[in-house]
Structure 1
Amino acid sequence: MSKQTSDPEHELPPLDPECAAVLDEIPEEYFPKSLLDFDDLPASRERFADVMEMMADDEETLETVQTEEISVPGPEKGEELRLRVHSPIDSTGPHPCVYWIHGGGMVIGSAEEEDAVAHRFVDELDCVVVAPDYRLAPEHPYPTPVDDCYAGLNWVSENAAELDVDDSRIAIAGPSAGGGLAAGVTLRARDEGGPELCYQMLIYPMIDDRNETVSSKQVTDIGIWDRDMNIAGWDAYLGDRSGSDDIPHYAAPARATDLSGLPPTFLDVETHDAFRDETTTYAQRLAASGVQTEYHLWSGGFHGYDIFAPETKLTQTTWETRFNALRQTLTD
């Protein structure tokens, strides 16, 4: 399953040996190409949830973390938004908060499927993690996912005391589509005078609908979120406008012309990822705009390696680096 590229003019470097071995061992039915049928997304979401549940069964249950699901006002009158709130049990607040937005290409995933990751954040950082269960495309295209996530962030900020959260230490984070939504919400908070975030962590973020970079053309057959799936995901999210000039930067943050005034930012991406070059460019533009920026390019990793290859040295180093970056901001 670990083919390299179908574009001989742009060869990828070798995969990390441990990651390559994992790719070869992952059952065919675990791959998004097998899981994701854009013509039957409800069934695809059920299959994906089953796979994530099976993988979560291997995670250690943390008795130091409590999880509560609450409903808060959505972006429009009469709408409700579900939030998963994960808190330390034996710890005195107010705590820092990580507002964690799940991935899934804008079309799959849920807040529940992020419980294991959220618990790790709580355990490592003694923080509260809030995960919004935003509505998915194509049933709910842009701007609904951004609106949902922004409404949830506003509620967290306005009700920080109720959550035992320090409103001055709220960070936003997410992987893949969640990273793109986090970037869009952060831009909107800056533009609209919303919650003053102390940090954003963009993990291999989905931020550019144009699919014109070298890496977007290289990563075509590795098996986990390649070019064709990315185009389909953006089409589901943006409809016929995808790739056109008429795309707001809240939808595709790579299109933002002004990146100044954003909070300190951590970005990481792997070499074997269609999002490699758009993430790299975004990091460079943030730094050039005066934003405190930390960027990591993980050699030999594939999209989602930190989920599908948790025991590899690369994944362990990656998570240690992420936690250390957040720890310096939230707890030091």
Structure 2
Amino acid sequence: MANNAQIDSRHLVEQDLLGFIDQMPPLTLNEDILPLLRENFGATLQLQECPQAIEEVEAVRRTVPGRIGDPETGIVLYVPRKAGVIRGAILHMHGGGYVTGNAHVLIPAYRKLAMELDCAIVSVDYRLAPETRFPGAVEDCYAALAWLVGEAVALGVDRSRIGLMGESAGGGLAAALALLTRDRGEYELAFQHLIYPMIDDRTCVAEEPHPYAGEFVWTPQSNSFGWRCLLGSEPGGPDVSPYAAAARVTNLRGLPPTFINTGALDLFVDEDINYAQRLIRAGVPTELHVYPGAYHGFHFVADARSTQRAYSDSYDALRRALSANASR
């Protein structure tokens, strides 16, 4: 039985990040509130379109074939309009605890990212839990990857420079998809870029949970709900697949170069640090950043110092990853 005692961590929060949590009412995530949460997903983000990005990057919503027996998968495709350039590409998975979120509310952010990195981006509208349990979401992401690889020439994408990226549950899906791709052996990935990834259901039942992590935004209660919805059973059981919870994998060899960042007050901080350590011990080139005073989702406070540092670190890593095989 996990000890859920938690120490007040407000005094550890970066000053620039306090306003965001003060404006957010406490949230008890459950199936009753889920429809409203989905309807209002992204409302607090207040993302603004960049006029230059609109001019330079086309964003198209469409569907691609699902895996055999699965429905079509929705995506948002971002392609810079400048022709004659062979680019790298990112397959992106949005966050939302596996139970909420969608790709289209993030169009302003990822159109701008495609412009700044001069890359193509495919953002996946995977099926959500509890309506679709594991492995539905990760299979949707695999289907989108298969489509991206198959259409690479038509999109002006270099197949040797395709990588994965995701935030929170999207980071968990990216990590799981990297494992699934390695094990199926159909495609090769250039990198995985994981932003405070949700990768270990056992955090829900830890004997000694982090006393200062998870007080804000994404709490232990929400975490248990998200995992329960995805798995269809209580988290922490003995037979959870690593394609659902990537931290469950026993062999990390052969995974692509990895970037992980997280906040020191994020509920996922211990699982993310542990995953980075295991990747390093498995011989996987790994870059890890932990930001003091930052809770889960701190990236949404755009003017905070920790957010600006995190974006700088992330963009720098993505630029390097997208250009790593350019001469091949």
Who is 1:111 aligned against? 103
- 1:237 alignment partner in structure 2: 230
Distance 2:194 2:79 in 1: 22
Distance 1:242 1:6 in 2: 19
Q: Take 2:125 and 2:41, find their aligned partners in 1: how far apart are those partners?
A: 16
- On the 8 A contact 1:259/1:286 being kept in 2, the answer is yes
Residues 225-284 of structure 1 deviation map (CA, whole Å, 9 limit, x = unaligned): 111100110001112252100101110011100000000000011011000000000000
| Contact persistence 2:214–2:266 (CA under 8 A) | no
| Alignment RMSD | 2.1
From the superposition, tell whether residues 216 and 155 of structure 1 become closer, same or farther in structure 2 (CA, over 3 Å): farther
Note the residue ranges of structure 1 that are not aligned, 5 or more in a row.
none
For the residues of structure 1 that align with 2:314 and 2:84, how far apart are their CA atoms?
24
| Residue equivalent to 1:175 | 167
Residue in 2 that maps onto 1:151 = 143
User: Which residue of the other structure, out of 273, 293, 308, is the alignment partner of 1:280?
Assistant: 273
Q: CA deviation at 1:171?
A: 0.9
- Mapped to 2, the partners of 1:304 and 1:184 lie a distance apart of 20
- The residue aligned with 2:37 is 44
Which sections of structure 2, spanning at least 5 residues, go unmatched? none
- Tell me: CA distance 1:216–1:207, structure 2 relative to 1, closer, same or farther (3 Å): farther
Q: Is the 8 A contact 2:213 2:269 kept in 1?
A: no
What corresponds to 1:304 in structure 2? 297
Please say which of residues 145-154 and 117-126 is displaced more in the overlay.
Answer: 117-126
CA contact (8 A) 2:264 2:295 kept: yes
For 2:106 and 2:186, how far apart are their aligned partners in 1? 25
Partner of 2:187: 195
What one-letter code is carried by the residue in structure 1 that aligns with 2:213? V
Q: Which amino acid aligns with 1:236?
A: C
Alignment check: 8 A CA contact 1:186 1:197 kept: yes
Contact 1:12 1:272 in 2 (8 A): no
The verdict on how the C-alpha distance between 1:220 and 1:205 changes in structure 2, with shifts beyond 3 A counting, is closer
Q: Secondary structure at the residue paired with 1:109?
A: coil
Aligned-residue sequence identity (percent) comes to 38
After TM superposition, give the deviation of residue 183 of structure 1 in Å: 0.3
Q: Calculate the TM-score normalised by the size of structure 1.
A: 0.90
Are 2:152 and 1:160 equivalent residues in the alignment? yes
- How many residues align? The count is 317
Q: SS of the residue aligned with 1:191?
A: helix
Say if 1:46 and 1:27 are closer, same or farther in 2 by CA, change over 3 A: same
Query: Which amino acid in 1 is paired with 2:80?
Result: P
Q: Secondary structure at the match of 1:210?
A: helix
Cα distance change, pair 246–13 in 1 and its aligned pair in 2 (3 A):
farther
- Answering whether residue 16 of structure 2 is matched by residue 18 of structure 1, we say yes
Partner residue in 1 for 2:322: 330
Aligned to 2:133: 141
> 1:78 and 1:109, CA in 2 relative to 1: closer, same or farther beyond 3 A?
closer
Judged with a 3 Å threshold, the aligned counterparts in structure 2 of structure 1 residues 235 and 91 are, in CA distance, closer, same or farther, namely: same
Closer, same or farther: CA 23–325 of 1 in aligned 2, 3 Å:
same
1:197-216 deviation per Cα after TM superposition (whole angstroms, max 9, x unaligned): 00000110000001227555
For 2:215, which of 217, 221, 239 is the aligned residue? 221
Please name the residue that 2:246 is paired with: 253
Whole-angstrom distance in 2 between the partners of 1:130 and 1:287: 28
Distance 1:177 1:82 in 2: 17
TM-score (norm 2): 0.91
Relative to structure 1, the CA distance from residue 79 to residue 197 in structure 2 (aligned partners, 3 Å threshold; closer, same or farther) is: same
C-alpha displacement at 1:220, in angstroms? 4.6
Do the aligned residues in 2 keep the contact of 1:215 with 1:274 (CA within 8 Å)? Answer: no
